[in-house]
Structure 1
């Protein structure tokens, strides 16, 4: 037993010692240029898509196992890794907890390129998460490297929004307004910071419980936008450097000459698609030709008001005729003017 404890302690000390790249480096190091970030992310994407990617320069992947303990050099916080949750575009996600008993998630970036490429991509994602702090955006706690593997520690949400689909007990009309209020606030904040998410869908919007420090039950529910891995500055996106889920193409991504430039309004199209699917109670799939023909908008026009006008407007093909801001979409969903009584002290807004 003593040998086991000694081995565990040695492993823990090694984890602390090898956490060389940490959250503080995000502030200490020069920010990679947009060109460096694009080159790194595109290189990773190409190698990930290759059936036989080169392995000579790839660092060995050391995924954590349940019970693994590691301490961040930046914050001095110790984390215990839990069960595997799932995989994203560039990383595996695990449950985790810290000494404060926070429920966390650890995103472990899989080596799909050289260490330098992974460093730039991880650095860029952490920079975005640190810069885009908002109550309705998943919160980043920490970031570090252990054994040439990048760890990004964020808050852990309950489930992705997709769990609401195909559920008989879910009344979409009861969920849509609270969801829209949270999601559109996050989107408005990203856009006001000159960022475009590019990838808003059921897997990247999360149900989250607000912890009560006193009550065991009765936690409040909120919604958060996550996975900022491919978020870009608004001026940096174009057809060549924009990686989209094939089922999520906006018309301008297929034909920018006819429908307009790729910019923040693509996020509003994706929000419209998400709201349409929530009201339909299932995931919807459209071919490229159906998208070009405006099939999502035509389907939205079958909805009752106020959903019909709000969502069909967000799904217009031409970006100049589409909903222009997240606030505009929120107002279209809630056409009643703001009541002065809502601003009174103690009012339930």
Structure 2
């Protein structure tokens, strides 16, 4: 397994379900009161590349009305290859994103395609990813608390709809100029029923133990995102990937053994407690998103 960090996309391993891609309808004029999904993309231009994932690059774009957005560009398979894993993964991501309306989830705007490529239009988060942010700035408890609260709000929205993200990490969380956090990269997300997700998906260093070992093939559920959230908070505060001193396979073995990533004693008591609550090896012992929203670490005043 491998991790690819970029600002707007971190396309991951192929998924196992598919659905119909949503399409964008045209409008006659741009209005600030209309939903973002209704903006027109009949005439648009591609700008600078923002990042690159395993399925292709992501660019900044602008439409004929001067509206900026991100565009994920994906090579289409040869005719007859519509069932390939990459297309299945993209169809799933589009299907899920088109249903979501929340300030802490990146907004899906529409799609376009030509003979060779599929273009997915997404809300542009001008601040890039949280991974980029902590590489440039030393985040304090006040920053991380505010970002974590917003991540939880987005996750709570997903979990109320029985959707597990499966790849929560700083590289997949975007931020705009106002400090609003956006969950992104839904290529691995899946709607679940009765915790029935049974395929090992995600990025190794942030994977929950039950995802790695898939105990007794019973599958895993929403709690897997809570473990990844704990790793993500730790990542923001330490400016390091969890299990950063280990190669991928050793990290997976360590997670499989139920050994937590190193949590420095220098972290505040509230942050330390929040992370430990998320990193319960038994998923049944992890708090829900709603319960974590009441934790002192995320309720603190800025």
Tell me whether the two structures share a fold, i.e. TM-score over 0.5: yes
Change beyond 3 A, Cα 1:130–1:335: closer
| Aligned counterparts of 1:304 and 1:182: Cα–Cα separation in 2 | 20
- Does the residue aligned with 1:165 lie in a helix, a strand or coil? helix
**TM-score scaled by structure 1?**
0.66
Change beyond 3 A, Cα 1:293–1:116: closer
Change beyond 3 A, Cα 1:256–1:290: same
Deviation at 1:276, TM superposition (A): 0.8
Matching of residue 105 in structure 1 with residue 70 in structure 2: yes
Matching of residue 222 in structure 1 with residue 180 in structure 2: yes
8 Å contact from structure 1 (residues 260, 320) kept in 2: no
- Aligned ranges for residues 46-195 of structure 1 at < 5 Å? 74-75=25-26, 76-77=40-41, 78-111=43-76, 115-117=81-83, 120-158=88-126, 159-167=128-136, 169-195=137-163
Change beyond 3 A, Cα 1:295–1:301: farther
- Does the residue aligned with 1:221 lie in a helix, a strand or coil? coil
- Aligned ranges for residues 1-349 of structure 1 at < 5 Å? 38=16, 74-75=25-26, 76-77=40-41, 78-111=43-76, 115-117=81-83, 120-158=88-126, 159-167=128-136, 169-209=137-177, 220-235=178-193, 238-239=197-198, 241-257=199-215, 261-285=219-243, 287-296=251-260, 299=263, 303-323=267-287, 325-334=288-297
Higher CA-based Rg: 1
Structure 2: which 5+ runs fail to align? 1-14, 27-39
The aligned counterpart of 1:344 is: none
8 Å contact from structure 2 (residues 105, 182) kept in 1: yes
**TM-score scaled by structure 2?**
0.76
Report which of the two has the higher share of helix: 1
Please report the RMSD computed on the Cα atoms of aligned residues, expressed in angstroms. Answer: 3.0
- The structure, 1 or 2, with the larger RCO (C-alpha pairs under 8 Å, 6+ apart) is 2
8 Å contact from structure 2 (residues 277, 286) kept in 1: yes
Structure 1: which 5+ runs fail to align? 1-36, 42-71, 210-219, 338-347
Moved over 6 A (4+): none
Change beyond 3 A, Cα 1:233–1:310: same
8 Å contact from structure 2 (residues 156, 289) kept in 1: yes
Change beyond 3 A, Cα 1:94–1:298: closer
8 Å contact from structure 1 (residues 272, 312) kept in 2: yes
| Aligned counterparts of 1:165 and 1:335: Cα–Cα separation in 2 | 18
How many residues are paired up? 260
